Structure 1
Amino acid sequence: MLVASLIVGGDVYYSLTRMMLTECPSVTDRVMQFNTVLLVKIALYLGLMLMISLYVSHRFAGPIYRFEKSCQSLSLGDLTHRVSLRTGDELMELQEEFNGMAAALQALVQKDRNLAQRLSERVEEMSKRLPEEADRAREDLTSLKVELDHLTKSFKV
């Protein structure tokens, strides 16, 4: 949009200047002086716009890049990873939500890991007593099956 405006504006200015110089050659020096000042101003404004554009895009692109890397870490199983943005970056609210989600997911997996560990210990204990207490083992295994069924039903897959 800015480039199109510059092209159209430059074309109109060039046409008007040529027409004016053709009809009034005595103002050539003043027009050339004005053109020099105008070109310097245009260069300064373009430089300023470029710096502002880089600053604004950096405030969005940096956080988006960090979120992308954090999602990759999480998908690879690193549930300890958290997003960390610089003060003043955009998307700070999303950072808090993402980190809260990662912490909740980590707590759920830790809870399941602890449950699996306890179940594993019970299975090992039962396997040692199995020959002596076959009836009791059947009851324990049934109880274990119920707990395992409960474990798998707590997630939406």
Structure 2
Amino acid sequence: MARKGYFIRKNLLIQRKLQFKYMAFVLAAILITSAVIVLSVYLAHWSLLRARLPEIQAKAIIDEVSRTLNTLLLFEIPLAVFIAVIASIIVSHKVAGPVYHLQKVAREVARGDLTRSVHLRRDDELKNLSEAFNSVIDNMHVLVSNDRKLIFELSKVADTLYGDLKDKKINEQEALVLIRKVNDLIGELKTLIMHYKIEKS
């Protein structure tokens, strides 16, 4: 079965619940890291300034350093959070997009459309899963095609047998040959489907 090429997904928030969980995790990690860094910077600067400057000068310098640090941090932390949000959307999309597409194709295959297959972008995650899923669809396609051919042949033999018996155009020996052919076709059909496990152990 021929496969289509890769495509570009336009909607970045395709599995919102999954992506928001991913984003919350990334943002929490960034905010905790930022808080630790900010606290470390403040403590390091204050302890250095207090240790090296006389009391009167220290207060003025600490106030100036605090204002400078606050200004920098008030600009840098929101910028870092914004960049983290964008990065987490893009990174989570590499998983959420394929999950969404796999679910969509799985629903269509479950409804009986074996012409479907999963096509992911080059840089998406879960490529191995999509290839395995496509392999399952291809195998089901071959199985159903072979079943249809055998069912068609069975139908044809049964119609011939019925017509010949009805019109008395066939003797008992010829009827036995046709019945044997029907049994052979049924055996082929059984062979095709018997290796599938349908009962839980």
**TM-score, normalised to structure 1's length?**
0.81
| Paired amino acid for 1:109 | V
Report the AA paired with residue 52 of structure 1.
A
The Cα shift of 1:68 comes to: 1.5
* Percent identity between the two aligned chains: 27
Corresponding residue for residue 5 of structure 1: 33
Distance 2:41 2:122 in 1: 45
Superimposed CA distance per residue, residues 99-139 of structure 1 (whole angstroms, 9 cap, x where no aligned partner): 34322321221121011111101101110111423512233
Q: How many residue pairs are counted as aligned between the two chains?
A: 156
Any stretches of 5+ residues in structure 1 without a counterpart? Answer: none
What is the identity, as a one-letter code, of the residue corresponding to 1:54? I
More helix by share: 1
Secondary structure of residue in 1 paired with 2:186: helix
- What TM-score, normalized to structure 2? 0.65
Match of 2:76?
41
My pick for the range that moved more, 62-71 or 1-10, is 1-10
Select which of 59, 64, 67 maps to 1:25.
Answer: 59
Q: 1:143 matched to which residue of 2?
A: 181
Q: How does 1:107-118 map to 2 (within 5 A)?
A: 107-118=142-153
Unaligned runs of 5+ in 2: 1-28, 197-201
Q: Which has the higher contact order (CA 8 A, sep 6+)?
A: 2
The Cα of 1:30 is off from its aligned counterpart by 3.2
For 1:12 and 1:104, the matched residues in 2 are separated by 59
Q: Alignment RMSD, CA only?
A: 2.6
Alignment partner of 2:191 out of 150, 153, 156: 153
Out of 139-148 and 71-80, give the one that drifted further.
139-148
> Residues of 2 paired with 1:11 and 1:65: CA distance?
41
Tell me the distance in 2 between the aligned counterparts of 1:16 and 1:69: 54
User: Structure 2 CA distance, aligned partners of 1:34 and 1:11?
Assistant: 11
